[in-house]
């Protein structure tokens, strides 16, 4: 059965790729991008150095893939949570809860996306802009729907979405530096929702 054999080989390889990616997030977070070496990553991931070069020509390429894939994961998770609800208050709450959950579970990933990426690898600047744009558009779409239903007054929803996107990220980053992130998250999510609803002048 040549197909299944190929499929199995592919899965095995993908597992190695995933292991390297997950290790790389940790290694970059601990040592910083420039101090971290390919050797550190393969050693911690328990794969041969040749395996690294099978997937990536160099450290920068791995880093760029890491940024893109973690950004996609974060965006999809938040978007799906928002779309699972119909009204703005519930959409904000679900989206922010999903975001906070990822931040608590994978702090290094969120730190990488929000703080660490661009200065380390200048070629990421355009990808960072795209990530910010997509994150903003999630909040913007929710505001546009509320505007269409006349639940918020006419306003520049793009600007409001930028303000929310940046504001939420600031709170989430501060959460990660908090002594007790889980407890703090319990008040942060409803406070962010209330702030956003007031800012958009949502009619209950």
The correct pick among 40, 74, 169, 193 for binding its own copies (CB under 8 A) is 169
Query: What is residue 115's DSSP assignment?
Result: I
Site for its own copies in 97-126 (CB under 8 A): 115-122, 125
> Does 166 participate in binding its own copies (rule CB under 8 A)?
yes
> Does 79 participate in binding its own copies (rule CB under 8 A)?
no
Taking the C-alpha atoms of residue 91 and residue 83, their distance in angstroms, rounded to an integer, is: 7
The correct pick among 26, 85, 127, 128 for binding its own copies (CB under 8 A) is 128
Print the binding letters for residues 29-68 with its own copies: x by CB under 8 A, - otherwise.
--xxxxx---------------------------------
- Which of residues 47 and 193 has its CB atom nearest to its own copies in the complex? 193
In angstroms, give the least distance from the CB of 151 to its own copies: 15
Taking the C-alpha atoms of residue 169 and residue 88, their distance in angstroms, rounded to an integer, is: 19
Taking the C-alpha atoms of residue 77 and residue 135, their distance in angstroms, rounded to an integer, is: 11
Q: 161 and 145 in contact (C-beta within 8 Å)?
A: no
> Does 187 participate in binding its own copies (rule CB under 8 A)?
yes
Taking the C-alpha atoms of residue 163 and residue 22, their distance in angstroms, rounded to an integer, is: 31
In angstroms, give the least distance from the CB of 13 to its own copies: 29
In angstroms, give the least distance from the CB of 67 to its own copies: 10
- Which of residues 47 and 138 has its CB atom nearest to its own copies in the complex? 138
Crossing angle of helices 157-176 and 181-199, rounded to 10° = 170
Nearest to 202 by CA among 146, 142, 137: 146
- Which of residues 47 and 157 has its CB atom nearest to its own copies in the complex? 157
Taking the C-alpha atoms of residue 145 and residue 151, their distance in angstroms, rounded to an integer, is: 9
Q: 96 and 192 in contact (C-beta within 8 Å)?
A: yes
Taking the C-alpha atoms of residue 180 and residue 38, their distance in angstroms, rounded to an integer, is: 33
The correct pick among 52, 136, 151, 193 for binding its own copies (CB under 8 A) is 136
Residues that bind its own copies (CB under 8 A): 31-35, 115-122, 125, 128-129, 132, 136, 155-156, 159-160, 162-171, 173-174, 177, 187-188, 191-192, 195-196, 198-201
């Amino acid at each position: 059965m040549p197909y299944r054999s190929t499929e199995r080989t592919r899965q095995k390889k993908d597992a190695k790729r995933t292991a390297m990616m997950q290790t790389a997030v940790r290694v970059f977070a601990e040592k910083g991008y420039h101090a971290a070496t390919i050797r550190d990553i393969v050693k911690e991931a328990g794969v041969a150095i040749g395996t690294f070069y099978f997937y990536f020509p160099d450290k920068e390429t791995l880093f760029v893939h890491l940024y893109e894939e973690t950004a996609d994961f974060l965006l999809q998770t938040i978007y799906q949570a928002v779309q699972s609800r119909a009204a703005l208050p519930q959409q904000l709450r679900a989206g922010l809860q999903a975001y906070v959950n990822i931040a608590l579970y994978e702090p290094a990933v969120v730190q990488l996306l929000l703080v660490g990426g661009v200065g380390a690898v200048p070629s990421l600047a355009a990808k960072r802009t795209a990530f910010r744009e997509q994150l903003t558009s999630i909040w913007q779409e929710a505001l546009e729907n509320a505007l269409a239903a006349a639940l918020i007054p006419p306003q520049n929803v793009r600007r409001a979405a930028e303000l929310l996107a940046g504001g939420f990220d600031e709170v989430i980053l501060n959460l990660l530096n908090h002594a007790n992130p889980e407890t703090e998250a319990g008040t942060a999510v409803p406070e962010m929702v209330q702030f956003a609803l007031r800012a958009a002048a949502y009619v209950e």
